[in-house]
Amino acid sequence: MDSNNINLKKLSGFLWEVEKDESNGMNVPVHVYASENIANSMKKDRTLMQAVNATTLPSIVNAMLVMPDGHEGYGFPVGGVAAFDASNGIISPGAIGFDINCGVRLIKTNLDATELAPKLKTLMDRLFSNVPSGVGSKIKLGFTNADLEKVATEGVGYIIGKGFGFKDDAERIEEYGCIQGADPDKVSKMAKSRGVQQLGTLGAGNHFLEVQKVNKILDAKLASAFGLQENQIVIMVHSGSRGYGHQVCSDYLRVLGEYQASHNIKLADPELSYADIGSKEADDYLAAMRSAVNFAFVNRQIMTNSIRKSFEETFAKSADSLGMEIVYDVAHNIAKLEEHNVNGKRMKLYVHRKGATRAFGPGSPELPKIYRDFGQPVIIPGSMGTASYVLAGRAEAMDETFGSSCHGSGRLMSRHQAIRDIPASKTLGDLRTKKIEVRVRSTKLISEEAEWAYKDVDEVVRSIAGAKISNIVARLVPLGVTKG
């Protein structure tokens, strides 16, 4: 099936549908949240075809969802959300991704752009030195295998206890920095060996660390609740579980491949391999995945400590006096057991989000008290050199999208095409014109992550707001970026 031949019907301003077709094995329709321009762009790769394939998975509930940043991925589209009945459903690693708990953290300061300007270059040098980046990047912090086991089971609380952070940091992290049910015994020795020296590192690809300025406040009440104001300096970190999580996914894709064969399961796409809830294979994968989730939360926590150290070295002030609190930290490659209303009935579901962010609305008990009346902060990074956004979850998202939103701008070009078509000099020249300080270890990466390789983040965010999934709170612009 070709995405270009799939009939995408417009239901409302920013909602499109591929109708359920039982002759194709579809169990539910596909719902796409996007502007017309973005919806049409999804026909240029396998995004819609992969979404249709995902609807053939057993016990999928309500609809297969594609956010406006959706694009082709491994089996399951990036920007995809699917929920499965927890009583008789399935778990699919392809619907979560290789970089388990790839996510974004936003840290605020009490500095403004004028105060930062004379020290920006020095700060970027310190950040580039203190936060290792690049393929296979490592850091020697003295962590042992015993520490790694604690990280997997206790998450951010363990590492804060070792001096990496403020006491209340965990209050501002999804799952409070520790998802329950992790079991490092279900993680391979290879994954652990890859992870032990990568805690506190950024990695490569689309991962980044940016120093940003709040460019515009679009909802004053929500911005105040999140501690944001115009011209304020904030820091955004995008990274995940590094080699640890990648190896967990690789290991269990092999296990589930054997599961498909032994159970004679036929798939629309072999990359959508799954295990039934309650099976040993599903339980083992969930325990390993949750270990990787906690690893990623801790990874971003250690980087937060290094970021605070960099600011302290640059400004000769304590991180506390610089107001360096976490705004929030969100996961966007994860499966979680949640309760949602489905056709008037309260159901326990395993919600798979791959390149999609939880966006719970006001009143949700899962949110920290400081945000419960306002909705969850949703952090949306743009591509290199473009704006990023802070949104807030809406009540409508709880009914429409299982409390989910987009996670970024979403690719338009493959990495190979970007390298071929976009010279690094073009991107570097554009960044210099915008007076953005850049620290990068690979010029090849500059082309891969160029602005023109991605969708327009402003249009992506307008789509999600137009669909009434999230409210736009603030627009952020980059002043400095470090990448692998």
Q: Which amino acids are annotated catalytic?
A: 407
How far, in Å, CA of 279 to CA of 437, rounded?
Answer: 50
Region of 420 (left: φ > 0; alpha: ψ -120 to 50; beta: rest) is: alpha
Q: Are 295 and 152 in contact (CB under 8 A)?
A: yes
Beta partners for residue 438, in sequence order: 481
Query: Quick one: which H or E segment has residue 124?
Result: helix 120-130
> Furthest-apart CA pair in the chain: how many Å?
67
Task: Report the distance separating Cα 399 and Cα 342, nearest Å.
Answer: 8
Q: Could you tell me the two tokens for 222?
A: 């929500």
Q: Which of 245, 356, 290, 309 is nearest to 155 (CA)?
A: 290
Residue 312's SS3 state is helix
Q: How far apart are CA 27 and CA 375, in angstroms?
A: 32
β pairing state of 326-331 and 103-112? antiparallel
Q: Whose CA is closest to 49, among 91, 92, 23, 18? A: 18
Number of other CB atoms surrounding residue 214 within 10 Å = 22
Measuring CA to CA, how many Å separate 84 from each of 54, 274, 421? 11, 12, 40
